[in-house]
Amino acid sequence: MDIIKQPWPWYIAGPLIGLIVPALLLLGNKAFGISSSLRHICAACIPANISFFKYDWKKESWNLFFVAGIMAGGFIATYFLSAPGPVNLNPNTIIALKQLGVKDFSGLLPHDIFSFSQLLTIRGFIFIVIGGFLVGFGTRYAGGCTSGHAIMGISSLQWPSLVATCCFMIGGFVTTWFILPYLLQF
């Protein structure tokens, strides 16, 4: 049981995640991706006359079970398999974030930024609401999320997925090095 409770090294976890792609393709001719599940949920639950949601979402119901499994797995991992204590971060990362004003590293996300009490501050609103909108907009604009493009798209040799993944990485680097320090000043 201890092996499940410890973080796995990249050379084990990475190939296991990568094996999802051929398994989905071989077993059901399905593409891996998470962001499309929100569209399926909206198509199933919203009886509006919106053309974007008018399709046979039942053909993609496997994706909803996949996402439900991810949520159940996350719940089980968090409440039954996680090791107590703070997340193990690189000491240099902690020093850099402390210099930017982040002090609480007790959870998965810094409570100085991501908490309900921070939602009512300018910084919290920018990170949680505007950041969430930008992630959702970017996912829709790019035609998929990072997992869909980086794991499924690149492994099936799709040029647009390679371009999207490179843009995700560049955006992440720019945000981390140039925008995040500025936003943490609020």
- Most confident of the ranges 43-57, 98-112, 140-154, 163-177: 163-177
Task: Say yes or no: 1 and 78 in one domain.
Answer: yes
The 10 Å Cβ neighbour count of residue 112 is: 17
Tokens 């609480």 label which residue?
Answer: 104
The pLDDT tens digits of the residues spanning 77-135 come to 888 887 777 777 889 988 988 888 888 887 778 888 888 888 888 888 888 899 889 88
Q: Are residues 11 and 57 in the same domain?
A: yes
Is residue 6 domain-resident? yes
The pLDDT mean for the chain works out to: 85
CA nearest to 63, candidates 31, 95, 93: 31
CA distances in angstroms from 36 to 12, 32, 169, listed in the order given: 27, 10, 21
- Both tokens of 10, joined, read 């990249």
Question: For residues 135 and 126, what is the distance between their CA atoms, to the nearest angstrom?
Answer: 12
Residues 74, 125, single domain; the answer is no
Expressed as residue numbers, the domain containing 135 is: 113-186
